[in-house]
Structure 1
Amino acid sequence: MNPKSAKIALKAFFVLSTGSAFAGTITCTPAPAGAGPASWIRRIAIDDHSRTVNMDVVRHRTKEADTMGKIRADLLGIEEAPGGEPAYVFNAIAADGAEVTHLFRLHKAGEWRLASAGVVFVGKVPTLRTIEPGKVFDCKRSELG
């Protein structure tokens, strides 16, 4: 087997072994906003292989500047969707000193939309703090990560 066909066969094996035709990475940025406020999430990168999600977020906003930060989340599931693109479900556990756990669902409904909810745990009881019905994102998929 020549090196080129061996490389193609190896890539095909990794795609088939993940159980998903969408193996690789998908990177999303907020679509240009109209009159609404800018999203606090500036970039999402989902890696199907490692089942991780990395997000660039606005930690603190002032009139002069935004303080940026990073959040690492766990990819909880990839749901099959009727439109052919999967729906990604992931969460970002609150860091030490932070009180909110964020739950996300990125799905394609004509356009990519990110819906999220913030949950606060009081004792051991979860309490819904915020719901964002959905922001539009521009997403690009890599070939095989």
Structure 2
Amino acid sequence: MNIRTIRRACQLLLLLSAAGSVSAGTIACVPSPGGAAGSFHWIRRIAIDEHSRTVNMDIVRSRTKDTETMGKMRAELVNMEGTSSGEPVYLFNSIPAAGDEVTNLFKLFKSGEWQLARVGVVFVNKVPALRGVEPTMSFDCKRSDLG
């Protein structure tokens, strides 16, 4: 290898590492095992892609004594605000499927541990009405800056 080839390889490596640091990352969350004993989490996994501004959730669609029917819920990352703690607050809303009447609004934030708050809203004659508020759930989240 000559000096010119080495220099180009170094420039390419610097360019790629700079592009990687600018790109947004992802965060994946699962319910924290430290929650209330016997508590039921209908959300089993949250994956947020900051770059595409999408949120994918694995959820429990229905549950019987012996089985659970799993499903997927897709949401749009509406806002991502930085905080003084260095971790952003994620605001996202579900994208209702045909026939769904409730839009879920979510807030994922770090307060000691990651917390998820959810509010259900139903639209009646294009007017939003509060359907229900769920107590916050604790999650374990891992960040990946690979984008």
TM over 0.5: yes
Partner of 1:67: 69
Aligned to 1:12, the other structure's residue is in SS state helix
Q: Kindly tell me: are residues 69 and 8 of structure 1, through their superposed partners in 2, closer, same or farther at Cα, counting changes over 3 Å?
A: farther
Alignment of 1:90-129 (within 5 A): 90-129=92-131
In the TM superposition, residue 36 of structure 1 has moved relative to its aligned partner by 4.5
- Displacement of 1:31 in angstroms is 0.4
> Percent of pairs identical after alignment?
58
Name the counterpart of 2:32: 31
User: 1:10 Cα shift?
Assistant: 2.5
Equivalent position of 1:53 in the other structure: 55
Task: Map Cα deviations across residues 30-73 of structure 1 (whole Å, 9 max, x no partner).
Answer: 00133252111000000011110000001111111110000111
- What is the CA–CA distance in structure 2 between the aligned matches of 1:123 and 1:24, rounded to whole Å? 38
| Rg comparison, structure with higher value | 2
State the SS of the aligned residue for 1:2. Answer: helix
Q: Kindly tell me: are residues 11 and 49 of structure 1, through their superposed partners in 2, closer, same or farther at Cα, counting changes over 3 Å?
A: farther
How many residues align structurally?
139
Which one has more relative contact order, counting CA pairs under 8 Å at least 6 apart? 2
Q: Which amino acid aligns with 1:10?
A: L
Q: Which among 9, 14, 29 is matched to residue 2 of structure 1?
A: 9
What is the TM-score of this pair, normalised by structure 1? 0.88
Q: Which runs of 4+ in 1 moved over 3 A?
A: none
User: Which residue number in structure 2 is paired with residue 139 of structure 1?
Assistant: 141
Q: What is the TM-score when the length of structure 2 is the normalising length?
A: 0.87
Report the equivalent of 1:80.
82
Please, what is the CA RMSD of the aligned residues? 1.6
